[in-house]
């Protein structure tokens, strides 16, 4: 193994050298997947040493890190030298590509891929970047994932923080892409404060957009007119906050459906509150009829449930629900 | 380019033809009628490699599938039992709501040019059961007449069907082309049909189609020649002012036709796979009807919330009934509940929708 000495010529290729951590430049933009140093890793290096050398390249008389930041930081912490392989990689892009391929095995989420691809996106022409996505990422990301990633990359970078924080799912990009920059700004507060599931986030954005399309008013106006922005400042749990926002928007997006659902629910409560039977109707009300469901543990409970059902029928307590369907759905 | 052709045909920029059908009468005819359009022969076994959304291509294909099919209904809603004579895919007209845009794998206009195979299959079926009546049509997967100026497909088909009195053919269209009339041997075995809509919908959402007045004039001309006609309100769309709009078109219909001239009249609310909504949003941003209260129906398609559909159907059906239409009215893909709510009966009361329409078509 060759040791670093500033007066000696530098080794290239697969030759191993040992470097002082101080001699390696680590403040580099292509280390996009760098992780925080943790005690477990330091202990491991202290016990086992650096089992896999870091990758560096030479620039002037300095060494520049290509891959292995956490190992360099651990060595610095432990005051030991860093085993390194010196390779000749010129230019930011190729160094970033080398970093990508040296670390790709530990990348599992599309969010991590966003970090990586934003680096290239900001430095490559659009068509070159698209070519890069297909050539470099194929095989590492499933086709569907790549499709979602490409959609996300069309969004402004300031949304990446919400993605990293887990407040928005990457799949939301397909709903967000129809919004203008101003509209994106208008919906940003909903995601800044709380974390949304994929389905709920899509409903929020899609409904806002569709109400805006139908009503031909600005999304900013709509957010104010519906009052959904105020809900964010109410003292509610994230779940209740989301529920309230979506309930308000549903009444705007599907006024007739929501009204009918509320009417049925009110009637159903009258009947259901006195019974162990859960009463519901078909979602979207395409057909007449009601569902009656109950849960029993044994034959005694099933006998009781059947008796209760018989009472419901004999007392005509289900009639209002069926009559309501005849009257309101026709 | 032949400037006598409709504009939508003047927009064709490439003809692609499968090698095995390049010398068929249909292919030769298309080539003659589009003399300036480049012609590309696709060797047997090769796939068409064009952009799948390219609407400037006409592909004359050697079709290997079934030509005679059942309408692709679903078990949750009542299908009319129409039998499709499959002559091609996609439509050169440009209606925002067109369900074909989300139905086929690509948007390329295709015509099945191996007509001998078509005649063979149809001949086998129709002659095997001469006592069986068939209500069939070509307007399910394409417009029956939009390509007629260059293909003469309907003329060929009518000439072929003249030997099968057990077949009634519906030619459903939004254009005016009555050139096929000369090939008809029995006017009671052909049902010229036009799809109509509220004037505002026709004006805003249907491009390259004939205006409503011309469609109705053509229908009246067919009546004069001894045919009965079919009319279709499909898709019915809810938009601000829909009552006035559908009232207008209904009044117009009876300015041109008498109830007895109409063999049957379908009503269908706008519906489609979820992909259709995305397609419309992306391609027709001004078409805002897709943001109405559409829910997912039992067949997985988007359709208007039932009480809203019923309200529209009831309004339209009542007005049509006032003009004297009765059992000619039917719903395309609706539930018994909707039938009962609007018309007071359901298909089983008519002996089944397919049987009922067969009687209407053959005037039995």
- Rounded to the nearest 10 degrees, what angle do helices B336-343 and B306-322 cross at? 40
Residues with Cβ < 8 Å from B46, sequence gap 6 or more?
none
- Which site among B271, B286, B336, B337 would you substitute to test the A interface, given the most A Cβ atoms closer than 10 Å to its Cβ? B337
Q: What is the pLDDT of residues B99-119, one digit of tens each?
A: 998 888 788 999 999 999 999
Contact A260, A285 (CB under 8 A): yes
Distance CA A84, CA A19 (A): 7
Name which of A213, A284, A329 is nearest B295 (Cβ-Cβ). Answer: A284
The answer, yes or no, to whether residue A5 has pLDDT greater than 70, is no
Residue range B144-168: mean pLDDT, rounded: 96
**Band of the pLDDT at A266, cuts 50, 70, 90?**
very high
Q: What does the block give as tokens for B2?
A: 């032949």
DSSP annotation of B43 reads -
> What residue in A sits closest to B294 (Cα-Cα)?
A254
pLDDT at A2: 29
Distance CA B200, CA B197 (A): 8
Distance CA B303, CA B299 (A): 10
Distance CA B324, CA B250 (A): 12
Which of A256, A245, A252 minimizes the C-alpha distance to A204? A245
Distance CA B180, CA B182 (A): 5
Q: Residues of A numbered 125-184 whose beta carbons fall under 8 angstroms of chain B's beta carbons: which are they?
A: 178
Total number of residues shown for chain B: 364
pLDDT at B112: 98
pLDDT at B2: 65
Contacts of A285 in chain B (CB under 8 A): 295, 305-307
Total number of residues shown for chain A: 330
Q: What is the pLDDT of residues B149-158, one digit of tens each?
A: 999 999 999 9
Which of B215, B197, B198 minimizes the C-alpha distance to B256? B215
The average confidence (pLDDT) of chain B is 94
Which of B138, B249, B149 minimizes the C-alpha distance to B192? B138
Helices of type H across chain B: 7-10, 25-33, 100-103, 115-128, 148-151, 153-161, 199-205, 212-224, 242-256, 274-283, 306-322, 336-343, 353-362
**Band of the pLDDT at A14, cuts 50, 70, 90?**
low
pLDDT at A15: 74
Pairing of strands B88-89, B14-18: unpaired
- Which site among B271, B277, B302, B306 would you substitute to test the A interface, given the most A Cβ atoms closer than 10 Å to its Cβ? B306
Exposed e or buried b per residue across B169-202, where buried means at least 16 C-beta atoms within 10 angstroms of its C-beta: bbbbbbbbbeebbebbeeeebbbbbbbbbbbbbb
Residue range B156-182: mean pLDDT, rounded: 96
Q: B298, A216: Cβ pair inside 8 Å?
A: no
The average confidence (pLDDT) of chain A is 90
What are all long-range contacts of A144-153, with beta carbons under 8 Å and residues at least 24 apart? A145/A110, A145/A113, A148/A110, A148/A173, A148/A174, A149/A110, A149/A113, A149/A114, A149/A117, A151/A177, A152/A110, A152/A114, A153/A114, A153/A117, A153/A118, A153/A121
Contact B98, B143 (CB under 8 A): no
pLDDT at A8: 35
Exposed e or buried b per residue across A45-71, where buried means at least 16 C-beta atoms within 10 angstroms of its C-beta: beeeebeebbbbbeeeeebbbbbbbbb
Quick one: three-class SS letters along chain A? CEECCCCCCCCCCCCEEEECHHHEECCCCCCCCCCCCCHHHHHHHHHHCCCCCEEEEEECCEEEEEECHHHHHHHHHHCCCEEEEECCCCCHHHHHHHHHHHHHHHCCCHHHHHHHHHHHHCCCCHHHHHHHHHHHHECCECHHHHHHHHHHHCCCHHHHHHHHCCCCCHHHHHHHCCCCHHHHHHHHHHHHHCCCCHHHHHHHHHHHHHHHHHHCCCHHHHHHHHCHHHHHCCCCCHHHHHHHHHHHHHHHHCHHHHHHHHHHHHHHHHHHCCCCCEEEECHHHCCCCEEEECCCCCHHHHHHHHHHHHHHHHCCCCHHHHHHHHHHCC
Lowest mean pLDDT among B44-48, B93-97, B208-212, B250-254: B44-48
> What residue in A sits closest to B286 (Cα-Cα)?
A213
Which of A171, A174, A170, A208 minimizes the C-alpha distance to A189? A208
Contact A73, A37 (CB under 8 A): yes
Q: A257, B281: Cβ pair inside 8 Å?
A: no
The answer, yes or no, to whether residue B91 has pLDDT greater than 50, is yes
Residue range A242-249: mean pLDDT, rounded: 97
Residues paired with residue B231 on neighbouring β-strands, in sequence order? B194, B265
pLDDT at B226: 97
Contact B269, B235 (CB under 8 A): yes
**Band of the pLDDT at A6, cuts 50, 70, 90?**
very low
The answer, yes or no, to whether residue A212 has pLDDT greater than 90, is yes
Distance CA B358, CA B264 (A): 10
Phi, psi of B351 (to 5 degrees): 85, 20
Q: What is the pLDDT of residues A27-54, one digit of tens each?
A: 999 999 998 999 999 999 999 999 999 9
Distance CA A325, CA B11 (A): 51
What percent of chain A lies above the pLDDT cut of 90? 78
In degrees, to the nearest 5, what angle opens at C-alpha B202 toward C-alphas B201 and B205? Answer: 65
Residue range A6-18: mean pLDDT, rounded: 56
Name which of A178, A256, A288 is nearest B308 (Cβ-Cβ). Answer: A256
Name which of B292, B297, B307 is nearest A329 (Cβ-Cβ). Answer: B307
Question: Does A288 touch chain B if contact means CB atoms closer than 8 Å?
Answer: yes
Name which of B291, B293, B335 is nearest A286 (Cβ-Cβ). Answer: B335
Q: A260, B297: Cβ pair inside 8 Å?
A: no
Which of B360, B323, B317 minimizes the C-alpha distance to B341? B317
Contact A228, A243 (CB under 8 A): no
In degrees, to the nearest 5, what angle opens at C-alpha A96 toward C-alphas A93 and A97? Answer: 85
Q: What is the pLDDT of residues B236-285, one digit of tens each?
A: 999 999 999 999 999 999 999 999 999 999 999 999 999 999 999 999 99
Phi, psi of A44 (to 5 degrees): -65, -45
**Band of the pLDDT at B1, cuts 50, 70, 90?**
low
Q: Helix (H, G, I), strand (E, B), or coil: what is residue B77?
A: coil
The answer, yes or no, to whether residue A245 has pLDDT greater than 90, is yes
DSSP annotation of B110 reads E
- Give the minimum alpha-carbon distance from B146 to chain A in angstroms, rounded to a whole number: 33
Residue range B299-309: mean pLDDT, rounded: 95
Question: Does A286 touch chain B if contact means CB atoms closer than 8 Å?
Answer: yes
Which of A184, A148, A154, A216 minimizes the C-alpha distance to B285? A216
Q: How many CB atoms neighbour CB B284 within 10 A?
A: 18
Residue range A104-112: mean pLDDT, rounded: 89
Residue B229, Cα to own-chain centre: how many angstroms? 13
Q: Which run of H or of E encompasses B262?
A: strand B262-269
Q: Which chain B residues have any C-beta within 8 angstroms of a chain A C-beta?
A: 76, 281, 288, 291-293, 295-298, 305-308, 310, 335, 337, 341
In chain A the first and final C-alpha atoms are separated, in Å, by 86
Q: What does the block give as tokens for B138?
A: 């070509």
> What residue in A sits closest to B312 (Cα-Cα)?
A330
**Band of the pLDDT at A327, cuts 50, 70, 90?**
very high
Q: What ipTM describes this predicted complex? A: 0.90
Question: What is the reported pTM?
Answer: 0.87
Residue range A156-178: mean pLDDT, rounded: 94
Q: A329, B295: Cβ pair inside 8 Å?
A: no
């Amino acid at each position: 193994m060759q040791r670093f000495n500033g007066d000696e010529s530098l080794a290239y290729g697969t030759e191993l050298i040992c470097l002082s951590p101080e001699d390696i430049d680590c403040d580099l933009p292509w280390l996009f997947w760098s992780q925080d140093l943790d005690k477990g890793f330091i202990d491991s290096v202290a016990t086992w040493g650096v089992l896999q050398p870091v990758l560096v390249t030479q620039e002037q008389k300095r060494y520049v890190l290509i891959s292995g930041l956490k190992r360099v930081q651990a060595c610095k912490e432990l005051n030991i030298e860093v085993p390194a392989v010196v390779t000749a990689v010129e230019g930011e892009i190729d160094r970033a590509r080398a970093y990508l391929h040296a670390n790709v095995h530990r990348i599992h989420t599309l969010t991590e891929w966003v970090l990586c691809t934003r680096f290239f996106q900001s430095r490559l022409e659009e068509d070159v970047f698209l070519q890069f996505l297909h050539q470099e990422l194929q095989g590492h990301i499933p086709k569907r994932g790549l499709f979602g990633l490409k959609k996300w990359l069309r969004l402004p970078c300031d949304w990446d923080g919400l993605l990293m924080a887990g407040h928005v799912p990457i799949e939301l990009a397909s709903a967000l892409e129809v919004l203008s920059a101003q509209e994106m700004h208008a919906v940003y507060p909903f995601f800044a404060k709380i974390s949304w599931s994929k389905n709920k986030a899509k409903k929020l954005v899609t409904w806002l957009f569709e109400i805006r399309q139908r009503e031909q008013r600005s999304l900013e106006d709509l957010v104010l007119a519906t009052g959904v922005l105020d809900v964010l400042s109410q003292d509610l749990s994230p779940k209740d906050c989301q529920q309230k926002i979506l309930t308000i928007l549903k009444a705007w997006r599907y006024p007739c459906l929501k009204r009918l659902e509320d009417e049925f629910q009110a009637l159903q409560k009258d009947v259901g509150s006195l019974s162990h039977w859960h009463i519901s109707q078909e979602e979207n009300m395409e057909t007449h009829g009601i569902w009656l469901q109950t849960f029993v543990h044994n034959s005694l409970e099933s006998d009781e449930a059947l008796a209760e059902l018989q009472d419901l029928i004999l007392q005509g307590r289900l009639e209002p629900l069926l009559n309501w369907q005849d009257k309101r759905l026709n | 380019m032949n400037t006598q052709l409709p504009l939508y045909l003047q927009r064709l920029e490439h003809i692609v033809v499968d090698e095995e059908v390049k010398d068929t009468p249909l292919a030769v005819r298309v080539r003659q009628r589009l003399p300036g359009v480049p012609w590309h022969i696709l060797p047997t076994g090769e796939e068409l490699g064009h952009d799948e959304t390219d609407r400037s291509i006409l592909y004359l294909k050697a079709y290997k599938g079934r030509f005679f099919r059942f309408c692709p209904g679903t078990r949750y809603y009542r299908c009319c039992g129409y039998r499709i004579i499959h002559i091609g895919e996609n439509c050169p007209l440009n209606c925002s709501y067109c369900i074909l845009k989300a139905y086929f794998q690509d948007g390329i206009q295709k015509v099945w040019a191996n007509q001998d195979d078509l005649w063979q299959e149809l001949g086998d079926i129709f002659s095997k059961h001469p006592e069986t009546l068939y209500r069939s049509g070509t307007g399910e997967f394409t417009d029956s007449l939009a390509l007629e100026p260059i293909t003469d497909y309907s003329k060929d088909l009518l000439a072929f069907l003249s030997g099968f009195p057990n077949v009634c053919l519906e030619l459903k269209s939004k254009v005016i082309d009555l050139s096929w009339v000369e090939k008809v041997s029995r006017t009671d075995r052909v049902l010229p049909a036009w799809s109509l809509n509220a004037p505002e919908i026709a004006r805003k959402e249907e491009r390259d189609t004939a205006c409503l007045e011309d469609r109705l004039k053509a229908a009246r001309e067919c009546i004069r020649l001894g045919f009965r006609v079919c009319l279709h309100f499909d898709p019915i769309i809810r938009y601000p002012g829909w009552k006035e709009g559908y009232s207008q078109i209904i009044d117009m219909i009876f300015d041109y036709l008498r109830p007895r001239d109409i063999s049957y009249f379908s009503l269908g609310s706008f519906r489609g796979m979820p992909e259709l909504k995305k397609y419309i949003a992306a391609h027709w941003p001004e078409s805002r009807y897709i943001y109405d209260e559409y829910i997912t129906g039992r067949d997985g398609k988007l359709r208007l919330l039932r009480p809203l559909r019923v309200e529209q159907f009831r309004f339209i059906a009542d007005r049509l009934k006032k003009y004297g239409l009765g059992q000619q009215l039917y719903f395309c893909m609706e539930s018994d509940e909707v039938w009962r709510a609007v018309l007071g009966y359901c298909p089983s009361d008519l002996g089944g929708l397919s049987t009922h329409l067969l009687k209407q078509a053959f005037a039995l």
